[in-house]
Structure 1
Amino acid sequence: MALIITDECINCDVCEPECPNGAISQGDEIYVIAPDLCTECVGHYETSQCVEVCPVDCIIKDPDHDETEDELRGKYEKLVAEGKTAPTTAG
């Protein structure tokens, strides 16, 4: 499932540069995550990098975008094929 940023976000700017898919951007009031680009870092890292760096733990799974790990990997592979994210060199 894609991730969302709750209204507890303090706009600290640390999550946006960590996203390998460019899914995080500044919204009207807080940062937002584009669900069509979020793979929870599947294909890139073992864990979601934005969650790892968030100092207030405001990034959670989005219940409106329920996806399996296989679906997230498929989304990653589609993004790579479209040139929207770089392929990983990790195994």
Structure 2
Amino acid sequence: MTYKITSKCISCKLCLSACPTGAVKIVDGRHWIDPNLCTNCDNTTYSVPQCAAGCPTCDGCVKERGDYWESWFTTYNKLITKLTKKEEYWDNWFNLYSQKFSEQIQKRQTSKV
């Protein structure tokens, strides 16, 4: 997901020199971020995108929204990779909720009798 320049940009040109990949361009007098060059500053020495970090308006450079489901699956996949024992996690989750579900069924059956 790349970044984009919004209408809140004050044309201070700080993002031009801050971008390590040179993705920020001025086209027809307006700032623009080339999505083919923007890497979100991944695989660089920076931990945050420099266009957003250096923006004095804090809203002049924002993440460009993509497809909702693409974003959802990206977040989901990041969370899943953090699980160290995936099979054990899902087994425990199933056992816990199936046990609670069966307890609820038993309570309903005993209350009807």
Q: Answer 1 or 2: higher relative contact order, Cα 8 Å, separation at least 6.
A: 1
1:7-57 Cα deviation digits (max 9, x unpaired): 111110100111111100112242100001101101111101111110012
Corresponding residue of 1:52: 53
**1:1-91 equivalent positions in 2, closer than 5 A:** 1-44=1-44, 45-57=46-58, 58-64=60-66
The answer to whether the Cα contact below 8 Å between 1:7 and 1:30 also exists between their aligned partners in 2 is no
Secondary structure in 1 aligned to 2:57?
A: coil
CA RMSD between the two structures: 2.1
Bigger Rg over Cα: 2
Unaligned runs of 5+ in 1: 69-91
| Structure 1 runs (4+) greater than 6 angstroms displaced | none
State how far apart, in whole Å, the 2-side matches of 1:27 and 1:7 are.
14
TM-score (ref. length: structure 1): 0.67
Q: Could you say which structure has the higher helix fraction? A: 2
Identical counterparts, % of pairs: 37
**In the alignment, residue 41 of structure 1 is paired with which amino acid?**
C
State how far apart, in whole Å, the 2-side matches of 1:52 and 1:62 are.
15
Number of residue equivalences: 69
